[in-house]
């Protein structure tokens, strides 16, 4: 398999990375994380389309539009992880291999963050490694896509 195409989705408030609670989310900005992802994508021979939105419907539209354009999805749905049946249903509907990532370890945080609507429709979840969660998630997704 040659180059694969991956949709990278960042959910609400991730545009504030670097400013927002750096003790939890780290000091890198979203632009810096996206740059790291683009570099890793080149190394892995993957084309990335990256979208950030604070709006649930925009994320649902992006997931639906991924069908026929991308082979997989890397998603940090932010707070929507714990609340959005709509995002979960969109991922299930397109049936594209999806990896869920989180900067913080959601299981070491408030109890309401321990539940993910996305995890049951994802091939895997990586959390707690800061910006490395994104890179590990991308590596795992590309490996999965090339092996399956």
> Which residues form the catalytic set?
25, 102
Distance CA 1, CA 128 (A): 31
Strand partners, 134: none
Distance CA 141, CA 70 (A): 12
Q: State the DSSP H helix or E strand holding residue 43, giving kind and residue range, or none if neither.
A: helix 30-43
Binding-site residue numbers are 76, 82, 89, 103-104, 113
- Which position has the token pair 């195409």? 5
Distance CA 141, CA 69 (A): 16
Non-local CB neighbours of 6 within 8 Å, separated by 6+ positions = 41, 46, 47, 48, 49, 70, 71, 72, 73, 74, 138, 141, 142, 145
């Amino acid at each position: 398999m040659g180059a694969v195409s991956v949709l990278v989705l960042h959910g609400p408030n991730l545009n504030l990375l670097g400013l927002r609670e750096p003790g939890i989310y780290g000091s890198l900005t979203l632009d810096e994380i996206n740059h790291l992802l683009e570099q890793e994508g080149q190394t892995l021979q993957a084309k990335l389309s990256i979208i950030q939105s604070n709006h649930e419907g925009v994320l649902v539209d992006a997931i639906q539009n991924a069908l026929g354009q991308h082979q997989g999805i890397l998603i940090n749905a932010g707070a929507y992880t714990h609340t959005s049946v709509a995002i979960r249903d969109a991922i299930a509907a397109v049936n594209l291999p999806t990896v869920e990532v989180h900067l913080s370890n959601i299981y070491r945080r408030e109890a309401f963050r321990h539940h993910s609507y996305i995890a049951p429709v994802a091939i895997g979840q990586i959390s707690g490694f800061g910006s490395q969660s994104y890179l590990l998630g991308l590596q795992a997704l590309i490996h999965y896509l090339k092996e399956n």
